[in-house]
Structure 1
Amino acid sequence: MQPLQDLNVRETVPLVSPRYLKHEENVTDEAIRTVVESRETVKNILAGRDRRLMVIVGPCSIHDQVAGLEYARKLRELAERVKSHMLVVMRVYFEKPRTTVGWKGLINDPHLNDTFDIGTGLRIARRILLEVANMGLPAATELLEPITPQYIADLISVAAIGARTTESPTHRQMASGLSMPVGYKNGTDGSLQVAIDAMLAAQHQHSFLGMDGDGKTCIINTKGNPWGFLILRGGRSGPNYDPALLTEATEKLNAAKLTPRLMVDCSHANSNKDYTRQRVVWNDCIEQRMAGNDHLIGLMLESNLFPGNQPLPADLSQLKYGVSVTDGCIGWDETEQLVLSAYERLGGELAGPQPAGASRSGAV
Structure 2
Amino acid sequence: MNKSTTKSGATDVWYAHPADRTSQTDDQRIQDITVLPPPEHLIRFFPIRGTAIEKLIAQTRKSIHDILHGKDDRLLVIIGPCSIHDPAAALDYARHLKEMREKYSDTLEVVMRVYFEKPRTTVGWKGLINDPYLDESYRIDEGLRIARQLLIEINRLGLPAASEFLDVISPQYIGDLIAWGAIGARTTESQVHRELASGLSAPIGFKNGTDGNIKIATDAIQAAARGHHFLSVHKNGQ
What TM-score do you get using the length of structure 1 for normalisation?
A: 0.59
- The aligned counterpart of 2:134 is 112
> Which consecutive aligned stretches of 4+ in structure 1 deviate over 4 angstroms post-superposition?
none
Structure 1 residues 73 and 11, CA, compared in 2 at 3 Å: closer, same or farther?
same
Residue identity opposite 1:184 in structure 2: F
Which of 31, 42, 49 does residue 21 from structure 1 map onto?
Answer: 42
Number of residue-to-residue matches in the alignment: 216
How far is the alpha carbon of 1:26 from its aligned partner? 1.4
- The aligned counterpart of 1:127 is 149
What TM-score do you get using the length of structure 2 for normalisation?
A: 0.89
- The aligned counterpart of 1:153 is 175
How far is the alpha carbon of 1:2 from its aligned partner? 7.4
The runs of 5 or more residues in structure 2 that have no matched partner are 1-21
How far is the alpha carbon of 1:190 from its aligned partner? 0.8
Counterparts of 1:46 and 1:54, CA distance in 2: 8
Counterparts of 1:87 and 1:2, CA distance in 2: 54
Structure 1 residues 12 and 82, CA, compared in 2 at 3 Å: closer, same or farther?
same
- The aligned counterpart of 1:39 is 61
- The aligned counterpart of 1:7 is 28
SS at match of 1:205: coil
Residues 268-323 of structure 1 deviation map (CA, whole Å, 9 limit, x = unaligned): xxxxxxxxxxxxxxxxxxxxxxxxxxxxxxxxxxxxxxxxxxxxxxxxxxxxxxxx
Percent of aligned pairs with the same amino acid: 50
The structure with more radius of gyration: 1
- The aligned counterpart of 1:169 is 191
Residue identity opposite 2:32 in structure 1: E
SS at match of 1:137: coil
Counterparts of 2:56 and 2:111, CA distance in 1: 11
Which of 85, 90, 93 does residue 71 from structure 1 map onto?
Answer: 93
Residue identity opposite 1:21 in structure 2: L
Counterparts of 2:64 and 2:182, CA distance in 1: 13
Counterparts of 1:11 and 1:152, CA distance in 2: 25
- The aligned counterpart of 2:232 is 210
How far is the alpha carbon of 1:200 from its aligned partner? 0.3
Which of 209, 213, 226 does residue 191 from structure 1 map onto?
Answer: 213
Residue identity opposite 1:192 in structure 2: I
Counterparts of 1:126 and 1:59, CA distance in 2: 17
Counterparts of 1:204 and 1:183, CA distance in 2: 15
